[in-house]
Copies of this chain bind each other. A is one copy, B any other.
Amino acid sequence: MNPASVIEPIRHGGILELRLARPPVNALDPLLVRSLREAIEAAPAHGAQALLLSGRQGMFSAGLDVPALIALDRDAMSEFWGGFFDLCAAIARAPIPVAAAVTGHAPAGGAVLAMLCDYRVMARGAYRIGLNEVQVGLTVPECLQAALRRLVGTYRAERLLVSGTMLEPDAALAVGLVDELAEPDAVVSAALAWLDGLLALPHGAMQSTRALARADLAAIFADPASLPIADFLDGWFCAETQATLHALVARLKGRDRA
């Protein structure tokens, strides 16, 4: 399968939009994770001055593709999770600004991708965003907790993470999980406008001030090999989590049949 087929690149002047395009819900499987990371890493060399991550209207990304991943053995899951951390590192450490057009739902891994960007515009409507890992039996690793803390504060992050809270757009804005709301058909243009504003600034001063301002986030992901892959795998393959994930897959299949 052609990697490009799950990422639709759209050029807007100096800004490269990377639209997640893996039907039906932009679930994160090994191919999408690798393709997105490669597209982000390649962008500056191809002349992009800024990046925009977007999804389809109504669904930014449903997070991990649990039905696909649950079939993987420990080695394959280890490779996937290492690749997911590599993708997180690529966003968190991007040398150019990255905005997220949260075009719809963004649970778990979808929220993670958005949270690591410089800025988030979310669609108004019956959509939700949040790190609901605990709800499906997964532990949120420290590196992702730290990334959320810098957005919303230490205690607010604790509350959101421990309960696996999903927030509607107004609540996400109030708590600082997103930065701006827009009508669903205006999310991409609002995020582009924000990036245009950054690119109109004196370039060197903006870039060096940005590098200092995000140095704490970059440091979290400085050494992807040191990130807690084994802990995640222990959690993924423990009985409680497997039971919760299998029940989730059964619900998803039931919904597909309905």
Residues on A lying within 8 angstroms of B by beta carbon are 97, 118-119, 133-142, 145, 149-159, 161-164, 176, 179, 197-198, 201-206, 208-210, 212-216, 235, 238, 240-241, 244
B204 touches A141 (CB 8 A): no
In contact, B205 and A163 (Cβ under 8 angstroms): no
Residues of B within 8 A of A152 (CB): 155
| CB <8 Å contact, B141 and A212 | yes
Oligomeric state, in copies: 3
Task: Name, among A118, A145, A197, A202, the residue most crowded by chain B CB atoms within 10 Å (CB to CB).
Answer: A202
Give Cα distance in the complex from A157 to B209, angstroms: 11
Specify the chain B residue showing the minimal Cβ separation from A134: B205
The 8 closest A-B pairs by CB, nearest first: A158-B213, A137-B202, A150-B154, A139-B208, A134-B205, A162-B210, A151-B155, A204-B240
Contacts of A137 in B (CB 8 A): 202, 204-205
Contacts of A164 in B (CB 8 A): 201
**Is B202's CB under 8 angstroms from A244's CB?**
yes
Chain B contacts for A176, CB-based, 8 A: 153, 155-156
Bound CA–CA A138/B154 (angstroms): 27
* Contact between B213 and A163, CB atoms less than 8 A apart: no
Given A208-B235, A209-B134, A235-B208, is A201 in contact with B155 using a C-beta cutoff of 8 Å?
A: no
Taking A151-B155, A153-B153 as contacts, is the C-beta distance between A161 and B213 under 8 angstroms?
A: yes
Most buried by B among A138, A162, A238: A162
Bound complex: CA A240 to CA B205 (Å): 9
* Known A-B contacts A162-B198, A163-B197; A138 and B205 likewise in contact (beta carbons under 8 Å): yes
List chain B residues, Cβ under 8 A from A159: 119, 179
Whether A133 touches B212, Cβ cut-off 8 Å, given contacts A162-B198, A179-B159, is no
16 more A-B contacts (CB under 8 A) besides A139-B204, A153-B153?
A: A97-B162, A133-B209, A134-B205, A134-B209, A135-B201, A139-B208, A139-B212, A140-B212, A145-B213, A149-B154, A150-B155, A156-B176, A158-B213, A158-B214, A161-B209, A161-B213
- In this complex, what residue of B is CB-closest to A135? B201
- A228 and chain B: residue at smallest CB distance: B212
- Closest Cβ neighbor of A202 among chain B residues: B137
Shortest distance from the beta carbon of A245 to any chain B beta carbon, whole Å: 10
A197 contacts across to B, CB distance below 8 A: 163
